[in-house]
Amino acid sequence: MAAMADPAARTRQVRRVLRLVPWMNVAVVVMKVVVFVMSHALSVLAESMHSSLDATDNVFALAVARVAGEAPDEDHPYGHTKFETLGALVLVGGSPSRCSG
C-alpha cells in the first residue's frame, strides 16, 4: 500500500507489469498457433491474431506509462499522469473488437 502513496514506486510497478504481460501474450499466441497447426481450426487462428493485438496494446501501454511517469516540468507543473487516462482512452476507443467481448 505504501507504493500507491509514492508515485515513482507506482510507476515502477506499472512498468514492471507492462514489461511482463507482452511476453505472456506472445506465449499465448504461440500456443494458439500450435493448436491451429494441429487442428486446422480457423477460429483458433483468428484468436491467435486477436491475442497478437493484445500484445501490441501492451507495448503501447508501456510507452504511455513511460510518459505518464515523467516528473513535473515547466509545461506540466502537476506531472504527466493524465497521459495514463489519455492512453486508456486511445486503447479502448481505437479497438472496436473490445466492445464485442
For residue 40, the enclosing domain spans 8-70+79-91
Please calculate the CA angle 90-96-99 and round it to the nearest 5 degrees.
Answer: 105
Q: How far apart are CA 92 and CA 7, in angstroms?
A: 24
Number of domains in the chain: 1
Q: Per residue in 25-63, pLDDT tens?
A: 899 999 999 999 999 999 999 999 988 888 888 888 888
In a domain, 53, yes or no: yes
Q: How far apart are CA 35 and CA 5, in angstroms?
A: 44
* CB atoms inside a 10 Å sphere around CB 61: 22
Task: Provide the grid cell at 52.
Answer: 497478437
Q: Per residue in 57-99, pLDDT tens?
A: 888 888 888 888 787 888 887 777 788 888 888 888 765 555 5
In a domain, 2, yes or no: no
Residue 83 near residue 64, CB atoms below 8 Å:
yes
In a domain, 83, yes or no: yes
- pTM as predicted: 0.65
